[in-house]
């Protein structure tokens, strides 16, 4: 993936207007993993890094666990969305859940434009984390506790994991999702800004999700409260850019 191709999609922003993006700290090369290492991802650190302002988050370190530390696993309960987070016999589930709610509220207050998460982690993984069944059988079907809280409480936030960035087309689409939502946040703050944003992005939205256009136009034409219209537009816009473009 080249710098030229990403600049074509994200546009050239001044440093003052760069997106604010939360990221699993280990993806930036910070040694916070349980084994004392990191999982630096070149596209995140080297390609996106100079174009965004990072907010680094390591839920396991931020709940007070040291580095290195004993590994943690998700353990199945009756509810697939509510596994336990265990470090040996130590149950960290409620500590991680209450930390997640507070940290997510803080990220909302800081108006982040997206979140890049570490795949397969029992805390940060959006999917494919190890899930230990009561009989000891392990399946790669878990969602990390922090990631689950993020998905449930902020579904319209652009979020994805680093495995998407292995595929150039998908990686570019994910980057574009963040940059479009950032331009929306800073530009569509009132009805005039919303109309201007729509005019400037209509063609691009149609390329990503043709069905979104009539729905967005009907939001623009509705007579509701401006702030509610902006919220509705943002939700549908984010869904349009969450889709993966056809090859």
Specify the residue, 5 or 93, whose C-beta has the smaller distance to ligand SF4: 93
Least distance from ligand SF4 to the Cβ atom of residue 155, Å: 20
Q: Is 123 in the site for ligand SF4 (CB under 6 A)?
A: yes
Can you tell me which residue has the tokens 């709610």? 101
Q: How many residues bind ligand SF4 (CB under 6 A)?
A: 12
Q: Are 72 and 34 in contact (CB under 8 A)?
A: yes
- Tell me the C-alpha to C-alpha distance, in Å, between residue 153 and each of 56, 57, 112, 156, 220: 19, 17, 14, 9, 26
Q: Is 26 in the site for ligand SF4 (CB under 6 A)?
A: yes
Q: Are 110 and 55 in contact (CB under 8 A)?
A: yes
Q: Is 201 in the site for ligand SF4 (CB under 6 A)?
A: no
> Would you give the binding string for ligand SF4 spanning residues 59-98, x where CB under 6 A is met?
xx--------------------------------------
Specify the residue, 69 or 239, whose C-beta has the smaller distance to ligand SF4: 69
Q: Is 143 in the site for ligand SF4 (CB under 6 A)?
A: no
Specify the residue, 123 or 238, whose C-beta has the smaller distance to ligand SF4: 123
Q: Is 58 in the site for ligand SF4 (CB under 6 A)?
A: yes
Among the listed residues 88, 84, 45, the one whose alpha carbon sits nearest the alpha carbon of residue 65: 88
Q: Is 51 in the site for ligand SF4 (CB under 6 A)?
A: no
Q: Which residues contact 182 (CB under 8 A, 6 or more apart)?
A: 13, 17, 18, 19, 20, 113, 114
- Interacting residue with ligand SF4 among 118, 198, 208, 236 (CB under 6 A): 118
Specify the residue, 124 or 181, whose C-beta has the smaller distance to ligand SF4: 124
Cα–Cα distance, 172 to 160 (Å, whole number): 12
Q: Which residues contact 160 (CB under 8 A, 6 or more apart)?
A: 116, 117, 126, 174, 177
Q: Under rule CB under 6 A, which residues in 224-243 are in contact with ligand SF4?
A: none
Cα–Cα distance, 181 to 135 (Å, whole number): 44
Instruction: Identify which range of 55-63, 133-141, 190-198, 237-245 contacts ligand SF4 by CB under 6 A.
Output: 55-63
Specify the residue, 123 or 143, whose C-beta has the smaller distance to ligand SF4: 123
Q: Is 124 in the site for ligand SF4 (CB under 6 A)?
A: yes
Cα–Cα distance, 118 to 99 (Å, whole number): 18
In DSSP notation, 168-185 reads HHHHHHHHHHHHHHHHHH
- Interacting residue with ligand SF4 among 6, 19, 21, 25 (CB under 6 A): 25
Strands 84-87 and 73-75: antiparallel
Residues near ligand SF4 (CB under 6 A): 24-26, 32-33, 58-60, 118, 121, 123-124
């Amino acid at each position: 993936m080249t710098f030229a191709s990403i600049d074509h999609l994200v546009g050239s922003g001044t440093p003052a207007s760069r997106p604010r993006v939360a990221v699993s700290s280990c993806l930036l090369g910070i040694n916070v993993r349980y084994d004392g290492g990191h999982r630096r991802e070149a596209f995140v650190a080297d390609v996106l890094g100079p174009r965004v302002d990072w907010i680094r988050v390591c839920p396991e370190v931020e709940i007070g666990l040291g580095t290195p530390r004993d590994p943690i696993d998700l353990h199945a309960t009756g509810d697939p969305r509510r596994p336990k987070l265990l470090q040996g016999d130590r149950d960290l589930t409620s500590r991680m859940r209450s930390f997640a709610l507070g940290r997510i509220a803080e990220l909302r207050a800081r108006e982040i434009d997206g979140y890049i998460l570490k795949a397969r982690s029992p805390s940060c993984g959006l999917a494919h984390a190890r899930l230990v069944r009561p009989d000891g059988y392990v399946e790669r079907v878990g969602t990390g506790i922090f990631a689950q809280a993020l998905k449930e409480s902020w579904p319209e936030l652009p979020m994805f994991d680093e495995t998407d960035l292995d595929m150039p087309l998908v990686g570019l689409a994910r980057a574009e999702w963040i940059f479009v939502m950032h331009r929306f946040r800073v530009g569509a703050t009132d009805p005039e800004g919303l109309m201007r944003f729509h005019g400037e992005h209509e063609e691009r939205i149609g390329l990503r999700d043709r069905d979104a256009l009539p729905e967005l136009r009907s939001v623009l034409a509705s007579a509701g409260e401006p702030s509610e219209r902006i919220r509705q537009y943002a939700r549908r816009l984010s869904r349009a850019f969450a889709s993966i473009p056809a090859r």
